[in-house]
């Protein structure tokens, strides 16, 4: 959020042009210059025009500081240079300063009202006249354009006429081109309507008010007044009306030719580019970001989820801009490796992810077995209910090749993103491997993200193609999900038309009778292969990009760590593992369950899936395991025998209590129980078995250095390296990586199968790579004397108490030992640095509504936690059920709990979560 609202009105600048306080503006930045205009619109060439600027050049000079370069900041409509005040301040105060020249365009802000209708070409010329007059053209410093709204097009026009000094481009929520096949945004169409145009632009402040409303969080009252200060009369708002009227969308528009010329030239000239984007902008929508990325494919991109049109007002973009400039022009070594450099590091021999399909083309044993409802079939046959359907390796290999060729002939190209919204099974497996075989990028956004989360993820990743079952296609139609549509189900012609479906999978398969291997392009190992979305349990789900080499690395790590070889029978009760079976050469089956809700897996469904392929390995989430144990009494003797033959049980997604694993061991007595630690960005990183967990507990009881205070997640898997960045007193972390027993810090990792980068999240990527060459996980933990890692929770959930930072997991485990207590979250409330610890508990049996824990229970929880960990708990609250993430149903949303607990304790009102 911008810092300016914190400036009190009494301390705000009052420039000579206005009595309105301008929070955040230093009067020393304000200057007026007179410039001879050569714009085509001027009736008398060379007419002197008065410009107002915010320029920190004199302040830097007076302080004896030399700028690294010049930022030319260009506003749009109806803002003015005030939009860039935080950038001016940050560029002045930073260790490596930049001169920022933020202009008020003519007829805008506090610049002269010319009385002329200045079109796009005039404004580009105006900007050139200004930079020449104030010496930017001959300053001998790189000039970086920073633009918002229609300032993007104008600044690009100037840049193309000044290639010798224009060094880089930074843009926020703007456009340089509009596809005439698409309507312009509705807000602009309304403003262009002749009946509305005058009243909303000059006749009132409606256009201004609407623009200021497109800011989340909303600006303060004083900031809103500051934005409106230059536009107090009809005459002073005339430039707003002209700007709107000059939107050059239709070909017959007077500015259209200049518009097309500028857009075309942008594609032809490559300079460093940073695109910062508010995703909730109803004016400059996602399609305009996509267009800019197409014209500048080398650009660094960061999407600010939830931010609207006035991004520079709503978010702190100054830090991002200056950091980016430092790394490109300030001699500062980039923290984030380029994707190319990262891919070059530690390359191993590449075996494609789909290699097992080629090796088993003539194998007639089962490869994929579908259990339960089948919503779509590869061969186009009618769906059936509650059946078991098997696809052999030979059939799968043939289907993948045919579908790959069909997709190519339909127009899918290497690098195209294809969103797959199909339940696990033979259909999804065929689609995944067909896409990977032709170099298309699979986009996997879990339906468990919910409607809003899915929409955010899909619009953010912008797949060119959307393949889904009918239900997904209905959602795509209703919610505007992007991509040309292919139906996984067979559809009648009317349904196809209503849902915007171009093809069905069955039709594509039928269109290919033979496959010429030469038609299928070779896969680039270092090209993007997949965008996999995180669970969204710690904020908006992030797209994690993997290359083909990294996908293969994940396969190899799991194969080598767990001894999974071709011929293994694998039950995938956790959706992400459904795609791994064929890559491992393992026959795989997904149980009859709702894969978007792992806790729907029953013991009977698991046993039936195990029996279908005589599976010896099972993957399931902790929530699924809980329900399997809860429903185990319904198992028949044959079903119990099937589970007793399982020899490997893996559970990922969240740590599992030892007691739960012990109960699972009784159900699967022959199985080795393993709980790998990892994340969407790198899975697995460590491995631990039940036997090791028990040994670690015993070590903790014996006082082995570092043992205890969390969940033991074992030792690094082959090829993975881990360390921690020690916590400091304020909850931040230090820079040095250590593995010293007992030292708690943020866990960092690197491995051949770790992510390539976050998708269109440059700032997030940089934060995760602040330790060069390592991924900062956001988790906290420590090592013990036997080199085992103990997980202690999330860095964001560390409680910063007066006596220092405290992680919560050990306290939560202690509280769970109190009879009658179920799941527990210990969260911090109060100001950072002096927080108090509050325990939020579920009870057994569950409570009907939130309340303060009874005195006796509260005292027992407090005493147990204090005895086990030394952590003082200030309050104990009871909730019917902990809020959890959607995908795993097991990760407690501690951020939500912390806010709720703080409100509840401060108001005394324990409302529902």
Inside any domain, residue 585 = no
Calpha distance 501→111 (Å, rounded): 52
pLDDT at 488 over 60: yes
- Mark whether 882 and 815 lie in a shared domain: yes
Calpha distance 593→379 (Å, rounded): 23
475's tokens: 């959602």
Which of 763, 792, 821 is the last residue before a domain boundary? 792
What DSSP string runs through 677-746?
EEETTEEEEEE-BHHHHHHHHHHHHHT-TT--SSEEEEEEPTT-EEEEEEB-TTS-B-S--B--BT--EE
- Mark whether 318 and 364 lie in a shared domain: no
Calpha distance 738→352 (Å, rounded): 35
Which tens digit of pLDDT belongs to each residue from 787-797? 999 999 889 88
656's tokens: 């599992």
Q: Which helix (H) or strand (E) holds 391?
A: strand 387-392
- Mark whether 812 and 843 lie in a shared domain: yes
6's tokens: 């914190």
- Cβ atoms of 134 and 57 closer than 8 Å: no
Cβ neighbors of 668 (< 8 A, separation 6 or more) are 618, 643, 644, 646, 649
- Closest to 436 measured CA to CA, from 344, 552, 535, 340: 552
pLDDT, residue 3, reads: 42
Inside any domain, residue 294 = yes
Say how many C-beta atoms besides its own lie within 10 A of residue 330's C-beta: 17
Q: How many percent of the chain have pLDDT more than 70?
A: 93
Which 8-state DSSP code applies to residue 31? E
Q: How far is CA 247 from the centre of its chain?
A: 32
- Mark whether 430 and 310 lie in a shared domain: no
Q: Is 868 helix (H, G, I), strand (E, B) or coil?
A: helix
Q: Which residue has the tokens 């060069």?
A: 772
pLDDT, residue 575, reads: 67
pLDDT, residue 446, reads: 78
Calpha distance 828→721 (Å, rounded): 31
Distances (CA, A) of 287 to 243, 245, 256, 458: 22, 22, 19, 13
Inside any domain, residue 185 = yes
743's tokens: 């030292």
- Mark whether 406 and 270 lie in a shared domain: no
Which tens digit of pLDDT belongs to each residue from 436-480? 999 999 998 877 778 888 899 999 999 999 999 999 999 999 999
Calculate mean pLDDT across residues 700-721: 93
- Mark whether 318 and 366 lie in a shared domain: no
pLDDT at 862 over 60: yes
pLDDT band at 2 (very low <50, low <70, confident <90, very high): very low
Calpha distance 890→653 (Å, rounded): 8
Note the residue count of the chain. 913
Calpha distance 815→818 (Å, rounded): 6
Query: What torsion, rounded to 10 degrees, do the Cα atoms 17, 21, 27, 33 define?
Result: -30
End-to-end CA distance of the chain: 26
Which 8-state DSSP code applies to residue 349? -
Q: Are strands 789-794 and 775-783 parallel, antiparallel or unpaired?
A: antiparallel
Q: Which residue has the tokens 């955010």?
A: 456
CATH number at residue 506: 3.40.50.12780
Inside any domain, residue 670 = no
- Mark whether 278 and 411 lie in a shared domain: no
- Cβ atoms of 901 and 840 closer than 8 Å: yes
pLDDT band at 11 (very low <50, low <70, confident <90, very high): low
- Mark whether 137 and 216 lie in a shared domain: yes
pLDDT at 385 over 80: no
Inside any domain, residue 811 = yes
Ranked by mean pLDDT, which of 182-196, 382-396, 526-540, 753-767 comes out on top?
753-767
pLDDT at 619 over 50: yes
Which tens digit of pLDDT belongs to each residue from 790-817? 999 889 889 999 888 998 888 998 899 9
- Cβ atoms of 307 and 217 closer than 8 Å: no
Per-position b or e across 540-551, b if 16+ CB within 10 A of its CB: bbbbbbbbbbbb
Calpha distance 63→615 (Å, rounded): 74
Which of 508, 532, 547 is the last residue before a domain boundary? 547
Q: Where are the beta strands (DSSP E) in 8-157?
A: 30-37, 47-55, 70-74, 99-103, 143-149
Which tens digit of pLDDT belongs to each residue from 644-692? 999 999 997 777 878 889 999 999 999 999 999 999 999 899 999 999 9
Sheet of strand 682-687, all strands in order from the earlier edge strand to the far edge: 677-679, 682-687, 711-716, 789-794, 775-783, 745-750, 721-726
Question: What is the extent of the structural domain holding 539?
Answer: 355-547
pLDDT at 337 over 60: no
pLDDT, residue 373, reads: 53
- Cβ atoms of 85 and 28 closer than 8 Å: no
State the burial class of residue 146 (Cβ atoms within 10 Å of its Cβ: 0-12, 13-18, 19+): buried
Which tens digit of pLDDT belongs to each residue from 64-74? 999 999 999 99
Which tens digit of pLDDT belongs to each residue from 587-618? 999 898 887 778 889 999 999 999 999 999 99
Calpha distance 403→42 (Å, rounded): 62
pLDDT, residue 274, reads: 98
Distances (CA, A) of 566 to 33, 208, 371, 393, 557: 76, 65, 21, 11, 15
Q: What angle do CA 448, 451, 452 make, to 5 degrees?
A: 110
Calpha distance 231→813 (Å, rounded): 61
pLDDT, residue 907, reads: 86
- Cβ atoms of 774 and 739 closer than 8 Å: no
pLDDT at 912 over 70: no
Calpha distance 807→800 (Å, rounded): 9
pLDDT at 744 over 50: yes
pLDDT band at 239 (very low <50, low <70, confident <90, very high): very high
pLDDT at 903 over 60: yes
pLDDT, residue 451, reads: 86
Inside any domain, residue 253 = yes
Phi then psi for residue 329, to 5 deg, are -130, -10
Calculate mean pLDDT across residues 147-167: 97
Q: How far is CA 101 from the centre of its chain?
A: 33
pLDDT at 381 over 50: no
pLDDT, residue 537, reads: 64
Q: What angle do CA 759, 761, 764 make, to 5 degrees?
A: 120
Ranked by mean pLDDT, which of 384-398, 440-454, 504-518 comes out on top?
504-518
pLDDT at 720 over 80: yes
- Cβ atoms of 206 and 200 closer than 8 Å: yes
- Mark whether 788 and 852 lie in a shared domain: no
pLDDT band at 327 (very low <50, low <70, confident <90, very high): very high
Inside any domain, residue 563 = no
**Tally of domains in the chain:** 4
Inside any domain, residue 642 = no
Average pLDDT over all residues of the chain: 90
**Out of 39-43, 573-577, 856-860, least confident range:** 573-577
Q: How many percent of the chain have pLDDT more than 90?
A: 74
Calculate mean pLDDT across residues 325-341: 68
Distances (CA, A) of 517 to 431, 479, 786: 18, 38, 52
Cβ neighbors of 513 (< 8 A, separation 6 or more) are none
- Mark whether 746 and 819 lie in a shared domain: no
pLDDT band at 380 (very low <50, low <70, confident <90, very high): very low
Calpha distance 16→30 (Å, rounded): 9
- Mark whether 136 and 221 lie in a shared domain: yes
Say how many C-beta atoms besides its own lie within 10 A of residue 245's C-beta: 16
Summarize the chain as % helix, strand, coil (round to 5).
Answer: 40, 20, 40
Calculate mean pLDDT across residues 325-336: 75
Q: Which residue has the tokens 């430039």?
A: 239
- Mark whether 290 and 367 lie in a shared domain: no
* Residues 624, 629, 633, 635, CA torsion sign: positive
What DSSP string runs through 515-534?
--GGGSPPPPTTSEEEEEE-
Calculate mean pLDDT across residues 248-269: 88
- Cβ atoms of 143 and 164 closer than 8 Å: no
pLDDT at 5 over 50: no
Q: Which residue has the tokens 């108490």?
A: 801
Calpha distance 541→553 (Å, rounded): 23
Q: Which helix (H) or strand (E) holds 291?
A: helix 286-295
Calpha distance 738→802 (Å, rounded): 25
């Amino acid at each position: 959020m911008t810092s300016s609202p914190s400036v009190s009105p009494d301390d705000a600048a009052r420039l000579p042009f206005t009595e309105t306080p301008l929070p955040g503006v230093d009067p020393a930045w304000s200057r007026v210059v007179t410039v001879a205009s050569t714009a085509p619109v001027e009736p008398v060439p060379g007419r002197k025009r008065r410009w107002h600027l915010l320029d920190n050049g004199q302040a830097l000079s007076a302080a004896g500081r030399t700028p690294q370069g010049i930022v030319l900041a260009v506003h749009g409509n109806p803002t003015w240079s005030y939009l860039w005040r935080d950038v001016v301040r940050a560029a002045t105060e930073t260790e490596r300063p930049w001169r920022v020249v933020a202009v008020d365009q003519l007829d805008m802000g506090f610049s002269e009202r010319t009385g002329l209708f200045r079109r796009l070409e005039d404004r580009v010329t105006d900007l050139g006249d200004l930079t020449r007059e104030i010496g930017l053209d001959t300053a001998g410093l790189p000039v970086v354009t920073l633009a918002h709204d229609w300032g993007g097009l104008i600044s690009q026009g100037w840049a193309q006429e000044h290639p010798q000094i224009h060094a880089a481009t930074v843009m926020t929520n703007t456009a340089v081109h509009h596809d005439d096949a698409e309507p312009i945004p509705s807000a602009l169409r309304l403003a262009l309507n002749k009946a509305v145009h005058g009243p909303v632009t000059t006749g009132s402040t409606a256009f201004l008010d609407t623009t200021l409303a497109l800011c989340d969080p909303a600006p303060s009252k004083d900031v809103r007044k500051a934005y409106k200060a230059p536009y107090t009369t009809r005459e002073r708002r005339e430039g707003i009306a002209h700007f709107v009227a000059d939107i050059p969308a239709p070909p017959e528009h007077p500015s259209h030719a200049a518009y097309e010329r500028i857009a075309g030239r942008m594609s032809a000239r490559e300079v460093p580019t940073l695109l910062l984007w508010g995703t909730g902008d109803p004016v400059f929508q996602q399609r305009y970001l996509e267009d800019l990325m197409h014209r500048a494919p080398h650009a660094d991109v960061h999407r600010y989820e939830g931010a609207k049109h006035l991004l520079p007002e709503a978010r702190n973009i100054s830090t991002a801009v200056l950091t980016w400039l430092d790394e490109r022009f300030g001699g500062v070594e980039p923290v984030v490796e380029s994707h190319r450099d990262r891919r070059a590091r530690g390359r191993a021999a590449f075996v494609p992810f789909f290699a097992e399909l080629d090796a088993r083309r003539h194998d007639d044993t089962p490869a994929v077995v579908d259990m339960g409802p089948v919503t779509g079939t590869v061969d186009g046959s009618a769906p059936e209910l509650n059946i078991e359907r098997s696809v052999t390796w030979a059939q799968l290999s043939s289907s993948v090749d045919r579908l790959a060729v069909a997709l190519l002939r339909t127009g899918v190209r290497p690098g195209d993103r294809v969103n797959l919204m199909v339940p696990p099974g033979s259909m999804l497996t065929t689609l995944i491997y067909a896409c990977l075989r032709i170099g298309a990028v699979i986009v996997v956004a879990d339906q468990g993200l919910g409607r809003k989360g899915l929409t955010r993820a899909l619009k953010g990743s912008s797949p060119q193609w959307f393949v889904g079952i009918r239900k997904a296609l209905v959602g795509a139609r209703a919610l505007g999900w992007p991509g040309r549509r292919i139906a996984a189900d067979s559809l009648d012609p009317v349904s196809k038309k209503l849902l915007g479906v171009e093809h069905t999978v069955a039709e594509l398969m039928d269109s290919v009778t033979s496959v010429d291997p030469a038609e299928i392009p070779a896969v680039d190992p270092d090209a993007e292969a997949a965008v996999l979305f995180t669970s969204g349990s710690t904020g908006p789900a992030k797209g994690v990009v993997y290359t083909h080499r990294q996908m293969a690395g994940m396969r190899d790590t799991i194969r080598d760590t767990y001894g999974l070889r071709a011929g293994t029978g694998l039950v995938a009760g956790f959706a992400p593992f459904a795609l791994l079976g064929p890559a491992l050469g393992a026959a795989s089956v997904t149980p009859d369950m709702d894969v978007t809700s792992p806790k729907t897996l029953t013991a009977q469904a698991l046993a039936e899936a195990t029996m279908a392929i005589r599976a010896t390995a099972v993957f399931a989430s902790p929530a699924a395991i809980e329900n399997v144990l809860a429903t185990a009494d319904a198992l028949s003797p044959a079903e119990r025998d099937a589970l007793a033959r399982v020899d490997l049980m893996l559970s990922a997604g969240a740590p599992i209590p030892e007691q739960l694993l012990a109960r699972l061991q009784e159900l699967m007595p022959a199985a080795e129980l393993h709980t790998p630690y990892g994340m969407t960005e790198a899975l697995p990183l460590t491995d631990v078995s039940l036997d090791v967990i028990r040994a670690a507990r015993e070590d903790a009881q014996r006082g082995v250095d570092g043992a205890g205070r969390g969940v033991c997640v074992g030792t690094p898997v082959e090829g993975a390296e881990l360390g921690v960045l020690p916590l400091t007193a304020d909850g931040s972390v230090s820079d040095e990586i250590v593995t010293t027993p007992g030292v708690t810090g943020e866990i960092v990792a690197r491995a051949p199968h770790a992510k390539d980068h976050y998708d269109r999240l440059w700032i997030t990527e940089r934060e995760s790579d602040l330790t060069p060459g390592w991924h900062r996980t956001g988790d906290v933990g420590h090592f013990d004397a036997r080199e085992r890692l103990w997980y202690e929770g999330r860095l964001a959930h560390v409680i910063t108490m007066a006596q220092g930072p405290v992680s919560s997991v050990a306290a939560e485990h202690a509280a769970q030992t109190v009879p009658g207590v179920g799941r527990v979250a210990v969260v911090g409330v109060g100001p950072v640095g002096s927080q108090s610890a509050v325990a939020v508990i579920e009870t057994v049996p569950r409570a009907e509504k939130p309340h303060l824990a009874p005195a006796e229970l509260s005292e027992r929880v407090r005493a147990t936690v204090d005895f086990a960990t030394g952590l003082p708990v200030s309050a104990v609250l009871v909730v019917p059920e902990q809020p959890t993430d959607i995908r795993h149903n097991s990760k407690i949303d501690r951020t939500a709990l912390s806010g709720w607990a703080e409100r509840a304790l401060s108001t005394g009102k324990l409302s529902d979560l």
